[in-house]
Amino acid sequence: MDTEAQQTERDRSSRPEPEAAEDRSRFALLARVTDWLPGGWFTLTLFACLTFLLVLNTFVAQPFQIPSGSMEQGLRIGDRVLVNKLAYRFGAGPRRGDVVVFDGSGYFGDADYIKRVVGVGGDHVVCCDKKGRIEVNGRSVDETAFLYPGDTPSTVPFNVDVPDGTVFVLGDHRGDSSDSRDHLGSPGGGMIPVSRVIGRADWIVWPYAHWTRLTRPAAYARVPAAGASHG
């Protein structure tokens, strides 16, 4: 009886576990795929990496090259910024002071643009106060920390209410920027729908010497909520 019991136990242990058999089946299938692909494992690994990068670029983060001097001196021509595409995807919206990349098709032109958000939905934006500064919701904003040296906040006067679901944007180099001021009479009145915002520029990643994080200026921190200071 002991001999039979031992034999039965050995028989059971020699049977492949279902999970192990399934793993071997998957590996065999993968091996057949790599045998079929030119380059084998190298090609499969390269394909997996490219797929990962494509998903990352489409849904998470995307590099964007600065095409003009409209955001100098903080962002220079040729700089590459990393755009956070998840920044506004879960209920959050652009905030005053954010640097955003957006699709300007039908509003500014058939291209992607990078500008700074000056007004959000519900804001009242005016230029200029007695000292030549922009006002948002009745509060003057000191932009000297990021405005291009020698530039004034605007040589174009404006007095606008920003509709809900849109943003009013300006370049930091006001003398070399085509922005919301230049499209007040265009479709949309110079406003960009939040739905057209691709993401928030969070980092300068190239060239290495310019590597830095882009933070929201404190100049907008004291701006009151929309509707709090004007009728």
Q: Is residue 174's pLDDT more than 80?
A: yes
pLDDT at position 170: 98
β-strands 197-206, 80-84 pairing: antiparallel
Work out how many domains the chain is built from and give that number: 2
CA distance 224 to 228: 6
- Phi then psi for residue 7, to 5 deg, are -65, -40
pLDDT at position 55: 43
Note whether residue 142 is domain-resident.
yes
pLDDT at position 45: 57
Q: Is residue 65's pLDDT more than 90?
A: yes
Mean pLDDT of 132-147: 96
Q: Are 134 and 153 in contact (CB under 8 A)?
A: yes
pLDDT digits (tens, 9 = 90+) for 75-121: 999 999 999 999 998 888 999 999 999 999 999 989 999 999 999 99
Residue 51 is given by DSSP the state H
Check whether residue 167 and residue 216 sit in a common domain: yes
pLDDT at position 91: 82
Range of the domain at 14: 2-58
Q: Is residue 184's pLDDT more than 60?
A: yes
Give catalytic residue positions: 70, 115
Check whether residue 51 and residue 95 sit in a common domain: no
Q: Are 132 and 183 in contact (CB under 8 A)?
A: no
Check whether residue 23 and residue 67 sit in a common domain: no
Note whether residue 227 is domain-resident.
no
Single pTM value for the model? 0.75
Short-list 58, 79, 163, 73, CA closest to 120: 163
pLDDT at position 206: 93
Of the residues 39, 58, 77, the one at which a domain ends: 58
What band does 39 get if pLDDT is binned at 50, 70 and 90?
Answer: low
pLDDT digits (tens, 9 = 90+) for 214-229: 999 999 999 998 876 4
CA distance 122 to 229: 12
pLDDT at position 162: 97
Check whether residue 161 and residue 53 sit in a common domain: no
